[in-house]
Amino acid sequence: MKSSTIKSENLKLSVDYIRQAAKKKIELVCFPEFQMAYSPLEQSARELSTIAENAINGNFITTLRKEAKRHRIKIIATIYENIDTKRKKKTDYRVSDTAIMISEKGDVMSIYRKLHLYDALGFKESVKLVGGNNIERPVKVGIGKIGLEICYDIRFPEMSRILTLDGADVLAIPSGWVQGIMKVEHWQIMLKARAIENGCYVIAPDQVGNIFSGRSMVIDPFGITLLDMGNKEGVGVVEIARDRVESVRKSLPLLKNRRTDVYLDHISSFI
């Protein structure tokens, strides 16, 4: 998806994609990060805050919830969320970068606020965004349990492992991966690494155009690329099988082979 700076345009495009997916009898649609709007570098935190909405009852999510219910389809969406005003000063206009999982009944199943902000490689997301404080438990759906992350989170393997140990069969990682030297290579390598080391599927839709690198991907639990959309916009379709997770974890039992008895002697000294 290539989000513009105009929220209403992105909402219309999102609805179009959902309806395309519904015609293909898709069970789950996963949108990229910044689905609500592209925020140019020159846009201030205050300007971005005028775009943000409530995570449950804002027009953007309310519309997507209605579409989910109408088409009996699950959706993972991303928004800029207005945070509790008690948490910020009157001059602090920063918002949360939030992923929301919606059921086929239109109910909100999970709300995840991006934990790791992209203050790296010349960027400083913390100027406009406020980091979350929680890793949300994986949510059970038809294809297994899905754990949510957002973009820069994939550079922190602890988070993916925590979600996997908490039952995730699939890691859904909506992203707006910024272009740059070695960035596509980092993207591909880390998505595969997170899938292989945890024996899980990785679903990673990415923004295209603007400053982003594209390459929306789906990786299977053994590291096989099931989908690589390049720089195309549109709906890519893959089939997810829970028994594939079980089969890979049985033949490559990385989770069972962990030596937690030894790790515990070292963890506290590094936190």
| pLDDT tens per residue across span 93-133 | 999 999 999 999 999 999 999 999 999 999 999 999 999 99
CB 240 within 8 A of CB 221: no
Residue 33 designated active-site = yes
Q: Which of 114, 128, 145, 192 is catalytic?
A: 114
Cβ count within 10 A of residue 44: 12
| pLDDT tens per residue across span 71-92 | 999 999 999 999 865 455 667 8
Percent of the chain past pLDDT 90, that is, above it, reads 91
| pLDDT tens per residue across span 4-50 | 999 999 999 999 999 999 999 999 999 999 999 999 999 999 999 99
| pLDDT tens per residue across span 165-199 | 999 999 999 999 999 999 999 999 999 999 999 99
Residue 232 designated active-site = no
Cα(269)–Cα(224) distance, rounded to whole angstroms?
36
Closest CA to 245 of 191, 202, 204, 201: 201
Q: Which of 33, 53, 104, 125 is catalytic?
A: 33
Q: How does the average pLDDT of the chain come out, rounded?
A: 95
Classify 7-270 by CATH class.
alpha beta
Q: Return the ∠ at Cα 215 (arms to 210 and 221), rounded to 5°.
A: 145
pLDDT of 89: 64
Residue 114 designated active-site = yes
Cα(221)–Cα(245) distance, rounded to whole angstroms?
6
Closest CA to 71 of 26, 13, 14, 31: 26
Query: What is the domain partition of the chain in residue ranges?
Result: 7-270
| pLDDT tens per residue across span 189-238 | 999 999 999 999 999 999 999 999 999 999 999 999 999 999 999 999 99
Q: Which of 128, 145, 151, 192 is catalytic?
A: 151
